Structure 1
Amino acid sequence: MHADQHAVDTGPVRRLVDGQFPRWAGLPLTPLASGGTVNAVYRLGDDLTVRLPLTEGGSGDIAKERRILGTLGGLPVAVPAVVAVGEPAEGYPWPWAVHGWLDGAPAREGHAARGLAEFVLAHRANRADGPPAFRGQPLSTVDTATRRAIEDLSRTDEPFDPAAALAAWSEALDAPEWAGPPCWVHGDLMPGNLLLRDGHLTGVLDWATAGLGDPAADLIPAWNLLTADTRQGFRDAVGADDATWARGRGRALSMAVIQLPYYRHTNPVISANARYVLTELGCVPAP
């Protein structure tokens, strides 16, 4: 997926685990098919996962996620427990982590995750100090990148209406910025990070982007997961005003147009979700 991606194979990962955590040496180690873009993920036994950053840029997430997960409380869903952190070895150049396994299936587009609004509100209410959220800043900070991505996408063979995307982006930029105190946000509520069991939201993964910022960052599931039939109910439940809703819509658009040209040949899960977002936002021409 990335030009600077480090190759991760089962053999070296097995040696990393056995050499640094011999108590787990007898547990089966299985690579997991993942739509993620930052880590290679392996299941270790029944109760653990091994997460290894694919690039140097993602290696700092190990320590950040460990700090964040240690501060969370009062959430209506499970979050991963950081069980151990490993050191570079066996040709692998960065820290890596062992997390607890959470049961569940990733949410699918068009299927409302029950309890999603409850989670967003509960997480927003966390009062402990935290780092700036990765996507918690004003939309203007990604204006250049978003416009460049719209242009890049318009030059591909993807069904895409750049004029509609630019109009939607301009509308989001025109919305008033968040004037309240920074809120805790997850910042990456993609379907693959939301675990469902029996139709209920039971777990939330991948906390490296979390921190304090604009609550609009956690409205992106309205367009990357929900449908027109369920979107308004989510908005009502989280109490999003017009400006916050517009910024959330803009954040979903920005992520989709940046992801699709970058991942459309390398990550079918992320690129399919980006297409879903653009369709829900009216940025795909009618057939």
Structure 2
Amino acid sequence: MPDPKPTIDTDLVRRLVNAQFPQWRHLPVRPVAFGGWDNRTFRLGNDMTVRLPSAAPYALQVEKEHRWLPRLAPLLPLPIPVPLAMGEPGEDYPWQWSVYRWIDGETAKTAEIADRPQFAVDLAKFLIALRRIDPAGGPPAGQHNFFRGGSLSVYDNQTREALQALEGQIDTQAATAVWDAALAATWQGSPVWFHGDVAWGNLLVQNGRLSAVIDFGTSGIGDPSCDLAIAWTFFQGESREAFRAAIDVDEATWARGRGWTLWKALITVAGHDANQAEAERSRRVIDDVLADHRKFA
């Protein structure tokens, strides 16, 4: 039986490429600086990347990206990944995997952003363009994207367990109010496209500007409020205000966005596997979400 968590390294990538795509066997393989967690990413030559899911749940995303990214790309204002080939299980690796065209740029965390409020506006314009694409036939919320785009109630038990575990460490009364408000602000619209993981590692920067959006593994059609988490996980002050003004969502959608953000931050702080830096970042996110609720609710 295949190892559910195979060792993913340059040697494995080289063997997979040599066996399945011999036309590229002469190209060097090297890891990228930020290789990801859900998927491990490697550079193949100068013009391609190889992405391998790190666990079975993420493998569900491979075929979806190959099907939908070529259809979405022409309708978006910024580059997104271009699938070139889909690999099959082999070399003791149990899942499908992908070869993509390389996209130049640094992640938003490490890059120098010239104008952060303008960066926020540019991202909002991208997400609005994504929402406007015809959703017919698109993938609804499910296991493939951990139910993003669906109801927050999927994570109600998990969130309340985290709140109970954090009693005395955070303002659980205020956090519960934010969560209850998010659950009450139910999605009433028709399904639209969303990215599902708008985070600094999936936003590329060139010359100080947003230049590409990558990793559509959790994308789908449904409620786009999950795409708002970036407002609290990356933006602050003027840039957060610019993002909210530009993203064009109603109060209920913004409330659900707070809910998605709070859920993830709570389970990170409450989780035993979170390192101290991650926990501290998530505590700051919780504080910002609670402050935002007090300001706008």
Change in CA separation of 1:178 and 1:160 when aligned onto 2, cut-off 3 Å: same
Cα distance in structure 1, aligned partners of 2:69 and 2:279: 28
Query: How much does 1:263 deviate?
Result: 4.8
Q: 2:155 maps to what in 1?
A: 142
Q: Is the 8 A contact 1:62 1:95 kept in 2?
A: yes
**Residue 193, structure 1, aligned to residue 237, structure 2:** no
Q: Give the SS at the match of 1:70.
A: helix
Cα distance in structure 1, aligned partners of 2:272 and 2:87: 30
Q: Give the SS at the match of 1:83.
A: strand
RMSD, aligned α-carbons: 2.5
Runs of 4+ in 1 over 6 A off after TM superposition: none
TM-score by length of 1: 0.87
Q: 1:132 maps to what in 2?
A: 140
Q: 2:30 maps to what in 1?
A: 30
Change in CA separation of 1:94 and 1:184 when aligned onto 2, cut-off 3 Å: same
Q: 1:265 maps to what in 2?
A: 275
Query: How much does 1:49 deviate?
Result: 0.8
Q: Is the 8 A contact 1:52 1:96 kept in 2?
A: yes
Query: How much does 1:272 deviate?
Result: 6.2
Unaligned runs of 5+ in 1: none
**Residue 174, structure 1, aligned to residue 187, structure 2:** no
**Residue 224, structure 1, aligned to residue 233, structure 2:** yes
TM-score by length of 2: 0.84
Unaligned runs of 5+ in 2: 292-297
Code of the aligned partner of 2:154 = T
Code of the aligned partner of 1:228 = G
Query: How much does 1:16 deviate?
Result: 0.8
Q: 1:210 maps to what in 2?
A: 219
Q: Is the 8 A contact 1:68 1:210 kept in 2?
A: no
Change in CA separation of 1:67 and 1:155 when aligned onto 2, cut-off 3 Å: farther
Q: Give the SS at the match of 2:49.
A: strand
Q: For 1:141-163, what per-residue CA distance to the aligned partner results, in whole angstroms no more than 9, with x for missing partners?
A: 221122223334x289xx64433
Cα distance in structure 1, aligned partners of 2:15 and 2:167: 45
Q: Give the SS at the match of 1:6.
A: coil
**Residue 122, structure 1, aligned to residue 129, structure 2:** yes
Cα distance in structure 2, aligned partners of 1:10 and 1:271: 30
The number of equivalent residue pairs is 275
Q: 2:294 maps to what in 1?
A: none
Q: 2:285 maps to what in 1?
A: 277
Cα distance in structure 1, aligned partners of 2:272 and 2:41: 21
What is the aligned-residue identity percentage? 42
Q: For 1:26-53, what per-residue CA distance to the aligned partner results, in whole angstroms no more than 9, with x for missing partners?
A: 2111112436321111111111111111
Q: Give the SS at the match of 2:89.
A: coil
Q: Give the SS at the match of 1:212.
A: strand
Q: For 1:59-115, what per-residue CA distance to the aligned partner results, in whole angstroms no more than 9, with x for missing partners?
A: 111111111212203211100011111111111111111111111111139945340
Moved more, 47-56 or 68-77: 68-77
Query: How much does 1:275 deviate?
Result: 4.1
Q: Give the SS at the match of 2:71.
A: coil
Cα distance in structure 2, aligned partners of 1:151 and 1:71: 44
Give the number of the structure whose residues are more often helix, by fraction.
Answer: 2
- Equivalent residues in 2 for 1:10-89, closer than 5 Å: 10-34=10-34, 36-72=36-72, 73-89=74-90
Moved more, 194-203 or 76-85: 194-203
Query: How much does 1:258 deviate?
Result: 2.6
Query: How much does 1:282 deviate?
Result: 4.0
Cα distance in structure 2, aligned partners of 1:264 and 1:155: 18
Cα distance in structure 2, aligned partners of 1:203 and 1:131: 22
Cα distance in structure 2, aligned partners of 1:170 and 1:127: 32
Cα distance in structure 2, aligned partners of 1:264 and 1:51: 24
